[in-house]
Every structure is written in structure tokens, then in C-alpha cells.
Amino acid sequence: MNAIISASELARAAAGGNPPVLLDIRWQLSMPKADEPPFDGRATYEAGHIPGAVYVDLDRELASAPGARGRHPLPDLADFGAAMRRAGVSSGTPVVVYDGGLGWAAARAWWLLSWTGHPDVRVLDGGLPAWEGPLETSVPTPAEGDFEPAPGATALLDADGAAALARSGVLLDARAGERYRGEVEPIDPVGGHIPGAVSAPTNDNVGADGRFLPAEELQSRFKKVGAAEGAEVGVYCGSGVSAAHEVLALAVAGIPAALYVGSWSEWSSDPSRPVAVGPDPQ
């Protein structure tokens, strides 16, 4: 099954006999100026969303509180399961997730649901900007779902596993190139990358319209950085959000990949872990 769905395909599915549960994951990594309010995903959702969609808060429902395990560590699975059931998610019902267009937040929800065993979850390619149908402002109250998270359906890395994979396989760094090289680091304690990791910014996986490149183009892109079919591949980013988008791009290309959820925010919090800088993996 394709991990993404077009807006036209979603419109047909929503009108069909087994419509998907829709989850709105609008979120952004924002560092507002002193005179600007922080981004409010719920307010944005309430101002207009795809009919029937339920809002899910990435920071509160798709992650635990930030700390030593990173800025967006795995959520408590009991809390995550309860949040998904409140949103109407059941194991026998398809799920479509979307965000404001960047795709990172939706990919985080896609990855979590896939990792915990949901068999049918897809991301709206291009997010809300790709949707050509009506929007609504009323907040639905879905029937309680029955989804019970069962982790382990897809691969997960911790810090030691990421370090090992950088030596034995292909570890992709999904952040912008300047952060990988250590030229700038606006968020975490130190700039640079995990030794052996290869730079592969997730923004390069999409076109100007925010939609994924065709599978053949993604395959070619990933092959150039060593992530060809048959390779053991892992991905990290700053805090396990944009890396989920790269894992999704790899899935579109037919290449399974593990996610290092703690990512650079966890790795760089421990001064004993090595840091590489510059354009080369080592």
C-alpha cells in the first residue's frame, strides 16, 4: 500500500463506504520573536479543517515532554493509544493524516501509528494546501476507536543503534546541510553530525508544491547517498519529526528505514558522544 494519498484520492475515499479517520496534525517548529505569539495548531484547526478531521497535538499527544531523550521523545504508549482512540482510530479503519503542508508533523503521526501496528495509515501528499474540497469549522466528536498500540511493527533506533548503523549501514541526517556541517545550530547544544552519517536534507524530497517527488526520482536521490534497495538504512534529524518525513519518502521509494527518534537533540545532550563537523560523514 502506498504510504501517501492524493487529495483527489482522499475525496473519493471520504465519500466511499469505509471512509478514513482524518487526523489534523498542524504544527510548526517555531521560535517566535518577542512580540509574536507562538504558533497555535488548535486555533488554526478550528479556523478551518477538512470535514470530519480531528485535531491531534504533536507536542502533547505524539511525544513525551522534552528532556534527556530529546525534544520530541516517544510518547507514553498508554497515553498515545488513548489519544488515538479519542480521535476515533480503530485498527480496522483506514487513517489519513495531514498538516499545514510541510509534511513533517503528519509524517510523525504516520510513523507512530505504523510503528505501533496500525495496518492502514497514509499521509495526504501536499497537506491541507493540496485539498480542493470544502473546509469546516465545527469540531466533530467521533465515536471511540479501539486501536491498541503494539510497538515494533517498524524499525526503531536508539543512540547506540544509530552510531552502529552509521558504521555498518547508511545513517541519513535529514536536517539542513548547514546544521549537518556544524556551521549553525539554532536549537541544540552543539552543531555537527553523528560520525559516519550522510547529509540528506528532507526538504530535497519534495517539489516546489510541497508534494513528494515521483518514486523513481526519490530512488535515484537516495541511491546517490547509499540508500539503495537492500541497504540497511536509518534516519535522524533534530528531534525525530523531519526524520519521520524522510522515512516516509524512503517508503514511497520502496526502501524501508529505521527512525532514530531521539535524534540530534538527544545525541548532542551527552557531551561524551562524538561529534563530526564539515561536509564529510567522518
Between CA 265 and CA 239 the distance in angstroms is 6
Whether the CB-CB separation of 13 and 94 falls below 8 Å is answered with yes
Q: What confidence score (pLDDT) does residue 33 get?
A: 61
- Catalytic residue from among 159, 237, 243, 261: 237
- DSSP codes joined into one string, 77-141: HHHHHHHHHHTT--TTS-EEEE-SSS-HHHHHHHHHHHHTT-S-EEEETT-GGG--S--B-S---
Q: What confidence score (pLDDT) does residue 99 get?
A: 98
DSSP state of 188: S
Q: How far is CA 187 from the centre of its chain?
A: 18
Q: What confidence score (pLDDT) does residue 31 get?
A: 58
State yes or no: is 188 an active-site residue: no
Set out the domains of the chain in order of their start, with CATH numbers: 4-130 (3.40.250.10), 156-267 (3.40.250.10)
Which segments in the chain show pLDDT lower than 50? none
Residues 6+ away with beta carbon under 8 Å from 122 = 1, 2, 3, 4, 5, 20, 94, 95, 96, 97, 110
* 224 CB neighbour count, 10 Å cutoff: 11
Between CA 233 and CA 72 the distance in angstroms is 21
User: What is the β-pairing status of strands 121-124 and 4-5?
Assistant: parallel
Tell me which residue of 280, 14, 273 sits closest to 132, measured CA to CA: 14
